[in-house]
Amino acid sequence: MSVLTDVVDVKIDSLQTEVNLLRLMVGWEEDCAPMSKVKVPDPKPFCSARSAKELENFCWDMEIYFQAARILEVEEVSITSMYLTEDAKLWWPTRLSDDASTNRDKIEMRDILKKELKDQFFPCNTS
């Protein structure tokens, strides 16, 4: 019976190690609040209006959306790009291909994307 107990203890330890590893991989922490069942409304898309107010509101809405929906930082740029419309939607793939062809660093952080959007769509930067 002692041998069986030892085998079960080893298996439990192994499973606990796997659970802990999986928790680390998904960013789960024991003191983390449980996920709420509140539906987070989608932010309004940015339609490339040449308005500082529109762009600032879009950036703010996205920031609040990421916090409320608990979006991982590595996903923020790709999710933000899904909410670009009209000229901004055309600008984004062009910017990505330009980055690749000129060996420019990819936009991987929300703050860098925010700066690039401001450079491209703020009224003072239009002709």
Per-residue pLDDT of the chain (127 residues; tens, 9 = 90+): 788 888 888 888 888 988 888 877 776 665 555 556 678 888 888 887 777 888 889 899 999 999 888 888 888 988 898 998 888 888 888 888 877 788 878 888 888 888 888 888 876 754 4
Q: How far apart are CA 80 and CA 25, in angstroms?
A: 23
Residues 25 and 74 in one domain: no
Give the pLDDT of residue 63.
92
Residues 66 and 10 in one domain: no
Per the structure, the complete domain to which residue 8 belongs is given by: 1-32
Q: How far apart are CA 63 and CA 29, in angstroms?
A: 22
Residues 24 and 64 in one domain: no
Q: How far apart are CA 51 and CA 126, in angstroms?
A: 10
| Token pair for 62 | 């996205």
- Backbone phi and psi for residue 61, each to the nearest 5 degrees, phi listed first: -60, -40
Q: Is residue 18 part of a domain?
A: yes
Give the pLDDT of residue 60.
92
